[in-house]
């Protein structure tokens, strides 16, 4: 599709963001994948920092290191392996990103969210986004699992929003509503599963900043006032683009550290603690996600059968 914003025959350099990943470019990526994989998953999973173990649970896999996938950049962060894996989780076909792209790695938000557009063109219907986050809510403990019910993402209020630029309606609408990004019946289902497993699930609002630095005490106090329960450096923009593309979204944040909201405290956040907590708590989170995937699939098969018998 011809880009409307041109300057001297070239794309206007200001028309960055989503113009970097035109429909044709994303289709090139999706087609490259579809030519190489027989599996046609409906669910995608993005593994957050230290949570790549979910990818290792897949069987009958086809693994593409990001370096092999056209237009995929490197994953440069410790705890993000950098593999796109197709396989089965609890007998359900899934595609899993073992590691994500972050803006602080020097990648545009358009690039960070490009995999959501690829998921759409692969025919996915849902995505599960997992991440590590600092707990701002003072009742949260390190190791808690928080179901994301909404987000606060100041960068998305600016022209850093990955949807800025020419809109291609084949992905989604020019003016998407964002008050229902995190799919209600998915949240209900995962709460049900957690309760059956006697696993405590916190419910909360995830806030996302650009990183790579953690937050000042005053910033955290401000986020708390705004209603945030946890803070991270990813997920919100992915959830936005996934939802814009019509995918249902489940977001889960592992509280890997307590955000330090006392001035002059001796404590400080660090990535080693983030990875250690993720390693320690990954098993519960993985089991929750595995069960969710199989129940969602069973519900879908039920629904299709019911539809067909009508």
Ligand X SMILES: O=P(O)(O)O[C@@H]1C[C@H](O)[C@@H](CO)O1
Closest by CA position to 77, among listed 277, 271, 256: 271
Alpha-carbon distance of 78 to 255, in angstroms, equals 17
Alpha-carbon distance of 296 to 13, in angstroms, equals 43
Q: Decide: is 256 part of the binding site for ligand GUN (CB under 6 A).
A: yes
Alpha-carbon distance of 308 to 288, in angstroms, equals 30
Q: How many residues form the binding site for ligand GUN (CB under 6 A)?
A: 15
In the complex, minimum distance from the CB of residue 46 to ligand X, in angstroms, rounded to a whole number: 8
30 is catalytic: no
Residues 6+ apart with CB under 8 A from 254: 48, 51, 130, 131, 132, 133, 143, 144, 145, 146, 277, 278, 281, 285
Q: Decide: is 115 part of the binding site for ligand X (CB under 6 A).
A: no
Segment 132 to 171, residues that bind ligand X, using CB under 6 A: 132
In the complex, minimum distance from the CB of residue 252 to ligand GUN, in angstroms, rounded to a whole number: 13
Query: Which of ligand X, ligand GUN, none is residue 100 near (CB under 5 to 8 Å by kind)?
Result: ligand X
Q: Check whether 80 is labelled as a binding-site residue.
A: yes
Q: Give the other-Cβ count within 10 Å of 41's Cβ.
A: 24
Query: Which of ligand X, ligand GUN, none is residue 209 near (CB under 5 to 8 Å by kind)?
Result: ligand GUN
Q: Decide: is 30 part of the binding site for ligand X (CB under 6 A).
A: no
| Residue 266 in tokens | 């001796």
Q: Give the other-Cβ count within 10 Å of 119's Cβ.
A: 27
Q: Check whether 100 is labelled as a binding-site residue.
A: yes
Q: Decide: is 130 part of the binding site for ligand GUN (CB under 6 A).
A: no
Binding segment (CB under 6 A) for ligand X, from list 137-145, 183-191, 196-204, 228-236: 228-236
257 is catalytic: yes
Residue 279: what are its φ and ψ, rounded to 5°? -60, -40
Alpha-carbon distance of 13 to 262, in angstroms, equals 43
Which entry of 19, 83, 90, 105 is annotated as an active-site residue? 105
CB 75 within 8 A of CB 24: no
105 is catalytic: yes
Residues 6+ apart with CB under 8 A from 264: none
Antiparallel, parallel or unpaired: β 83-89 and 201-208:
unpaired
Query: Which of ligand GUN, ligand X, none is residue 259 near (CB under 5 to 8 Å by kind)?
Result: ligand GUN
56 versus 125: smaller Cβ distance to ligand X: 56
71 is catalytic: no
132 is catalytic: yes
Q: Decide: is 259 part of the binding site for ligand GUN (CB under 6 A).
A: yes
> Which one of residues 42, 57, 102, 281 is an interface residue with ligand X (CB under 6 A)?
102
SS3 percent helix, strand, coil of the chain, rounded to 5, is: 40, 25, 40
Segment 51 to 110, residues that bind ligand GUN, using CB under 6 A: none
Which entry of 18, 19, 30, 49 is annotated as an active-site residue? 49
Site residues for ligand GUN per CB under 6 A: 132-134, 209, 211, 214-215, 231-233, 256-257, 259, 269, 274
Binding site per annotation, positions for phosphate: 49, 80, 100-102, 132, 234
Site residues for ligand X per CB under 6 A: 48-49, 77, 100, 102, 131-132, 211, 232-235, 271, 274
């Amino acid at each position: 599709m011809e880009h409307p914003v041109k300057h001297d025959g070239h794309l206007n350099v200001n028309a960055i963001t989503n113009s970097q990943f035109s429909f044709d470019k994303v289709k090139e990526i999706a087609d490259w994948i579809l030519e190489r994989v027989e599996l046609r998953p409906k669910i995608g999973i993005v593994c957050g920092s230290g949570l790549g173990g979910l990818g290792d649970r897949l069987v009958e896999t086809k693994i593409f290191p990001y370096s092999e996938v056209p237009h995929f950049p490197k994953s440069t962060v410790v705890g993000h392996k950098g593999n796109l894996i197709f396989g089965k989780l609890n007998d359900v076909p899934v595609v899993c990103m073992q590691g994500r792209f972050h803006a602080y790695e020097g990648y545009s938000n358009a690039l960070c969210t490009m995999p959501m557009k690829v998921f759409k063109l692969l025919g996915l219907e849902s995505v599960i986004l997992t991440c590590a986050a600092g707990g701002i809510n003072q009742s949260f403990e390190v190791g808690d699992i928080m179901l994301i019910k909404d987000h606060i993402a100041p960068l998305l209020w600016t022209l850093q929003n990955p949807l800025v630029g020419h809109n291609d309606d084949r992905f989604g609408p020019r003016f998407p509503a964002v008050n229902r990004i995190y799919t209600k019946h998915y949240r209900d289902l995962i709460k049900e599963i957690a309760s059956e497993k006697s696993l405590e699930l916190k419910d909360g609002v995830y806030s996302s900043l650009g990183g790579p630095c953690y937050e000042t005490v005053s910033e955290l106090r401000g986020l708390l006032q705004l209603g945030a329960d946890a803070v991270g450096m990813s997920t919100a923009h992915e959830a936005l683009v996934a939802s814009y593309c019509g995918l249902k979204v489940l977001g889960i944040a592992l509280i890997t550290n307590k955000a330090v909201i006392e001035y002059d405290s001796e404590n400080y956040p660090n990535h080693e603690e983030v990875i250690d907590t993720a390693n320690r708590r990954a098993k519960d989170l993985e089991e929750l996600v595995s069960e969710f995937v199989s129940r969602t699939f069973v519900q879908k098969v039920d629904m299709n059968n019911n539809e067909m018998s009508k």
